[in-house]
Structure 1
Amino acid sequence: MGVRDNPKASASRRSCKVDPAGNAPLIIIDSTRPYAMSRRSALSPWFTKPASDPNCIRHLFLRRSCQKCPTGIPSLLSTTPYSEALHKCRAQGEKVLAGRHFFGGSCLMIDQKSPGPRNSQTNLGYTRLLQMILDAKLQRGVVLNERRLASLVGVSRTPLRVAIGRLLSDGLLIRSPSGVMTLDGIDLQRFAEILALRRILEVDAAVLAAGRADESRIRGAEAALEAASSRNPLSGYEAWQADESFHHFIDEMAGNRFATSLMADFRLLSHALSGGELGRRIERAHSEHKAILSAVRNGGPQAARKAMDEHLAAERDTVMDAVFGR
């Protein structure tokens, strides 16, 4: 159960000390698990690991794109109330260990070591439904029956409902006022708006990344690109994973954590709304990604801007021509 930052918490359940390294206060849960959070940045995505406890849980759950955190509430924004964030975590079956307010928002610590069976089933249901959507296995506009979906994805209806809630929140499914649920249709205006936002955010991310080029990380991204290229053809879901892996690398190198999560949401929507076209052009995307990496490696902000802008414009034109007959 979550332990909120409040003075009434029992000393046997929670206490605060100062980290010997001077970094932060330690939060003790059940007198056995110390956690430290850096005072330098309340929005840091990692808890500092105290040297005295090599087994402590050290992941602060802030953004869905973190590989250690397979389920996700939206990124912790300064406007997210504590109660709302706590409700979303619990709805997803997450075990909340601690939480507190920051800058009018909230910060939650999630137990990632021992997710319960409900959490695992929810993850499984969400992943399989997402695969079906991106692989075009679900027909758009057709009413989705909960019982049939549970049978298709192989989970019970309770965790399936939580997984469906996440897909509704992601904007991939829609539910009418009467409760009828369908896969969202392909909408020209919506797709164009999402791509326009991606160009604003991701072009700037490429420029920032070019100023922070790290050769070892770039070589790692190149190796991942080569591995993805060797696996062609990819399914729609696999193509989204490969595309997301590359863009996530650029976003992280740019250094804006909030934009990283926001852009991941937009990319998922673009793939879902593209009718599979972004997946089908993944081989061409790999070549464009290599050009972006080359520009980032050479530290040329304008070259990086041009390469990313051309890549996103090509994605837009491909989908517009193939799906909307523009």
Structure 2
Amino acid sequence: MVLEAALGSKHLNQTEKALIGLRSMIMAGRFKTGQRLPEIAVSEQLGISRTPLRQAMDRLVAEGLLDRISTGGCRVARFTKEDIADAIQIRGVIEGTAARMAAERGADPDLLAHAKSILSQIDTALSESGGIDFDAYVSANRAFHDIIAHLSGSALMIRELDRMAQLPLASPSAFLSDQELIPDFQESLKHAQRQHRTILEAIENREGSRAEALAREHARLALMNFNYLTEQKPARARNVPGLALLTEK
């Protein structure tokens, strides 16, 4: 229903509609890894022409979700557990570098204030009387990680972190929809929030090395959850968006 709502938005152009729809189909495992993408069928299902679909395919090749075929067209990429683990750790390295740059260069005061307001939103989401306001948490968590990139003051860093976040299971929110599979999930969110605050504190205090180390450690939460799902809950984990792309080799 979320995908249908997004695709039905009047604010999306045809290429954006193709990109959102195709990425969602791939992440949901609608195509087998290594399968050639059926362009005609996909364009009909998404209600778009093949021109915006091919533009979306170009973007997904750049993201790594699709591979070019020498004879023409694209196929769904294959990912091993090692590939995903590497992607998560690389995101941590890049995000850590962004945090260090923000601290050493001196972050924009308005952006820092906005980051603090985002953390307040997360606090509110975590303290709901009826339990965690999960949708609010996911939205604010995504906003916090996005603003870390902007705090760096580097357009290149913003672009690279955006690209990394599109890789299967490498984004900061990759496992937040699978809370029933992960032990002590609510406590892990609270721990993540404590890390958010220490990262921002280090940036504000212009402690570059500390900010970098904290951001890299924060990314390890996603790696721990990924390892738990694939090693302890492999059967149920196949329903997690993106894990359908995993292959043994």
Q: Is the TM-score greater than 0.5?
A: yes
Aligned position for 1:309? 216
SS in structure 2 of the partner of residue 138 of structure 1: coil
Cα shift at 1:311: 1.4
Aligned position for 1:222? 119
Cα shift at 1:126: 1.0
Cα pair distance change 1:232/1:254, threshold 3 Å:
same
Aligned position for 1:150? 43
How many residue pairs match? The answer is: 203
Is the contact made by 1:278 and 1:319 (CA closer than 8 Å) also made in structure 2? no
Residue 271 (1) aligns with residue 169 (2):
yes
State the alpha-carbon separation in 2 of the partners of residues 273 and 184 from structure 1: 18
State the alpha-carbon separation in 2 of the partners of residues 228 and 143 from structure 1: 42
Residue 232 (1) aligns with residue 232 (2):
no
* Deviations 1:292-314, CA, capped at 9 Å, x for gaps: 23442363535534432221112
The CA RMSD measured in Å over matched residues stands at 3.7
TM-score normalised by length of structure 2 = 0.64
TM-score normalised by length of structure 1 = 0.51
Aligned-pair identity (%):
21
* Greater length-normalized contact order (CA 8 Å, ≥ 6 residues apart): 2
Residue 138 (1) aligns with residue 30 (2):
yes
State the alpha-carbon separation in 1 of the partners of residues 68 and 176 from structure 2: 25
State the alpha-carbon separation in 2 of the partners of residues 310 and 219 from structure 1: 20
Equivalent position amino acid for 1:311 in 2 = H
Higher percent of residues as helix: 2
Correspondence for 2:83 among 175, 179, 190: 190
Cα shift at 1:272: 6.4
Correspondence for 2:151 among 253, 260, 265: 253
Cα shift at 1:317: 2.2
The runs of 5 or more residues in structure 2 that have no matched partner are 1-11, 127-131, 180-184, 235-249
State the alpha-carbon separation in 1 of the partners of residues 88 and 133 from structure 2: 27
Is the contact made by 1:244 and 1:267 (CA closer than 8 Å) also made in structure 2? no
State the alpha-carbon separation in 2 of the partners of residues 266 and 131 from structure 1: 16
Cα shift at 1:203: 1.5
Cα shift at 1:250: 0.7
Is the contact made by 1:246 and 1:289 (CA closer than 8 Å) also made in structure 2? no
